A and B are shown apart, each in its own frame.
Chain A
Amino acid sequence: MADNKTERLINLTLALLATKRYLKKSEIFRTVQGYDGTADSMDRMFERDKDDLRALGIEIQVGDLDPFFEDEPGYRISRSSYSLEIPNLSPREVAYLSVAANFWKDSALTPAAQSGIRKLKSLGIPAAMDLASTIEYRFENPKAALLEITEAIDELRQLEFEYQGSEVTKRKLAPYRVLLWNGYWYLVGLDLVKNEIRMFKLSRVIGDIRAVGKKNAFNIPSDFDIRSILPSTAQDARNLAQVSIKKGEAITLRSNGRRLSEGESTDLYEFRYDLPSSFLRTLVWYGESVEIIEPIQLRNEIVALVSGEKP
């Protein structure tokens, strides 16, 4: 049964690809192997087959056979819309794509990466062999729903999900982008309850992410730039602190700050930071090698932190 159906789908694809003119439904039923039964049941069969092929990304063109005599539409698949053609793809580029496709070991992206690269290998362009990849990329395994999310972004559909913050909340989002940031996956978009651009760590989403409502439900601002919403880097952080560092110590820390003055046993450095909690964690790492001089507020916070008070 399943075999028959698969055979019919393949034969239908071949027949529609081979024809230069549009084929009438009656011609298809008469010539393509696998259509039988009453006119009604063949009609239903054909409608389902068309839907199945479209779900596979195969475009079936519908056209008028002869506008003067018939109103019955005809069907065909154009070679150019069916097949993959990438002009001037070089052997080196095929090699890059092969390396790229192998990143996704046993993850939600593996099947798409593998089937994609197989199609590219079927183009008949040899892959350049001298390109050995010696860098391995390790990142958080992407969630199974990753490609569905990208589809929702593509179709401009809203998403709903439950999110583990300090407590579990229900979120509704106009999704703008998926982001792989420093090895972790995030979903970025307009939070429709808070009416703000927000970032969500995908690993903290609980259960399913559901696409809801109609397509084209919102617009992504054309000037949207993911970097504008990422926490700022050290250079443009807003807060300033002065820290004294013992001679010859905290070498790594020094490279992130600006030296203000040199003393006898310590040097004075200035640092920029955004989140006090994460800056304090860094300073505590260096133990007694570093001492906060200013601001007083931050001095008090580090004392509280190392005395076991809640930050």
Chain B
Amino acid sequence: MSEASTTRTARALDLVPFLLENQGISVEELADEFGITQMQILEDLNLLFVCGLPGYSPLELIDMNFEDGYVTVSDPQVLDKPRKLSKPELTTLLVSLEVMKTMANPDVRQELEDLQAKLRAVLDHKPTIDVVVNEPTDAKLDEILQAIVRGCAVEINYLSAHSDKESWRTIIPNRVYVEGRHTYVESWCITSQGERVFRLDRILAIRKSDQAFSAGVERSDHEPGDDYLLFVSDNARIFIEENSAVIAHTAKISNGYEVLVTAIDQDWLVRTIAGFGPEIAVLNPPALKAALSGHLTAIRSLYQ
């Protein structure tokens, strides 16, 4: 089944101005850039080769060369400028900038806002997508990002999510990602000699480390954790939505879900599911069931 001629027309019209700015690009790269096969690109180029202005003499045709696998355009005729952005394109780029703004420092945020204003002004666009993140931007983020760029270690005072205790650790941050309402720092933790993920809002303080970056550290994979099987009722669906990172598998059963949780600290899991009361039940293993009931009994005894 051949693709719609409108799709092809749009692509062909966009190809020519792109080629003008990327003279000598290989057919392979071009196919990659446009997300289609090399065969399709060649068909598009062959088609453009015979298009042009009325008269259609050699002087009026789009003139290009691509015989050796590299593409150059010598006469684009009137296709020297890209088409204006479509609404979906503009909407998508604006929402991406909006996402970037949530984590940007004030200077960059201003730059991004100016850029958005520029795009909106030219294309007369009403906003249709909002982006809201509850966690405010954090000055500590800049320090972490700088450490990543320089590849150096920092010391952090970290409040553990599992034990609610704080401690100083030396880490080499690798990567920062935003997921849900939180920002995480993926690092090599020199203190515990393993890969660890730290939540930015739990980093209480950062200071420069004297420890030199030792490039030769062995990076072990994550310890394989235990598997936990839970029953999660329809009313507790939010548990599944908020913890998708540790959920390996979900199966719909009547009035709820069977959920397989992996690679997570048991104590954390107990504390998290305890608050859902009977809406979440442990199916397996028995040790988790026992830990959960211990946690609940401890709370109950406070109030007796």
Contact = CB atoms under 8 A, between A and B. Distances in A.
Interface of A: 2-3, 5-7, 9-11, 13-15, 17-18, 31-33, 52-53, 55-58, 79, 81-89, 92-93, 96-97, 99-101, 103-104, 109, 111-124, 132, 134-139, 147, 150-151, 153-154, 166, 177-184, 201, 203, 226-227, 230, 233, 249-252, 280-289, 291, 299, 302-311
B122 interface: yes
Interface in B239-278: 241, 271-272, 274-278
B214 interface: no
A21 to B, nearest CB: 13
Q: Ordered nearest first, which 10 A-B pairs have the shortest CB separation?
A: A281-B275, A100-B96, A116-B89, A83-B81, A31-B54, A284-B275, A182-B181, A122-B82, A119-B82, A136-B177
Q: Is the interface of A mostly helix, strand, loop or mixed?
A: helix
Contacts of A56: 6, 9-10, 13, 83
18 contacts: A2-B2, A6-B9, A10-B13, A17-B78, A82-B81, A86-B122, A100-B99, A112-B92, A118-B82, A119-B14, A121-B21, A150-B129, A184-B241, A249-B164, A281-B275, A284-B271, A288-B301, A309-B278
Name the residue among B77, B90, B301, B303 with the largest chain A CB count within 10 angstroms. B303
B92 A116 contact: yes
B216 interface: no
A118 B34 contact: yes
A226 B132 contact: yes
B166 A251 contact: yes
Interface string B12-53: 111001101110000000000111000000000001101111
Given A134-B175, A285-B274, A3 B47 contact: yes
Contacts of A118: 14, 18, 33-34, 82
B128 A311 contact: no
A285 B180 contact: no
Interface stretch (B111-119, B221-229, B282-290): B111-119
Contacts of A203: 241
Tier of interface size on chain B: 35 or more
Contact of A123 (B52, B82, B118): B82
Interface stretch (B64-72, B189-197, B291-299): B291-299
B298 A287 contact: yes
| Chain B, interface SS category | helix
Given A96-B97, A122-B18, 14 more contacts: A6-B47, A10-B12, A14-B53, A116-B90, A147-B88, A150-B88, A154-B128, A180-B131, A183-B181, A184-B180, A249-B164, A302-B303, A305-B275, A307-B300
A134 B176 contact: yes
Q: B50, B78, B278 — which one has the most chain A CB atoms within 10 A of its CB? A: B78
B241 A310 contact: no
